[in-house]
Homo-oligomer: A and B are copies of this chain.
């Protein structure tokens, strides 16, 4: 998972995904369940690239103003140069129902959780859930 530096700085201070946040996700298959260092789940092949962008200006009608993209070819063997946003039911419906923080599945992103700032809470609860 990657986040643009400005939104990361905001997240670390305020604990919210600012308007303009771009998250990129690399999808990776499991390559091995054992290595010389012991048992675990070790990455295999690089099989996809996805993005989500939060922008009230670009996506005024999307829930939470989030739009979702895949830059992966259907066979998961190469990347595309451009992508169209998925329709909301294809992605956003699950994100709205099951994502832990705003529309982001932070329950699966421990480093995002570890870096989350608290300034937003100090000024009146988790603002991102009120949008």
Q: A residues bordering B, Cβ < 8 Å?
A: 26, 28, 30-32, 35-37, 41-46, 94, 97-98, 105, 107-111, 113-114
Contacts and interface: CB of A to CB of B under 8 A. Distances in A.
A45 B108 contact: no
Given A44-B110, A46-B110, 13 more contacts: A26-B111, A28-B110, A28-B111, A31-B108, A32-B107, A35-B98, A35-B105, A35-B108, A36-B97, A36-B98, A37-B94, A46-B111, A46-B113
Contacts of A36: 94, 97-98
Contacts of A26: 111
Contacts of A98: 35-36
Contacts of A41: 30, 41
Count the copies: 2
A109 B43 CA distance: 6
Nearest to A28: B110
Contacts of A35: 98, 105, 108
B31 A107 contact: yes
A27 to B, nearest CB: 9
13 contacts: A31-B108, A31-B110, A32-B107, A32-B108, A35-B105, A35-B108, A36-B94, A41-B41, A42-B107, A42-B108, A44-B108, A44-B110, A46-B111
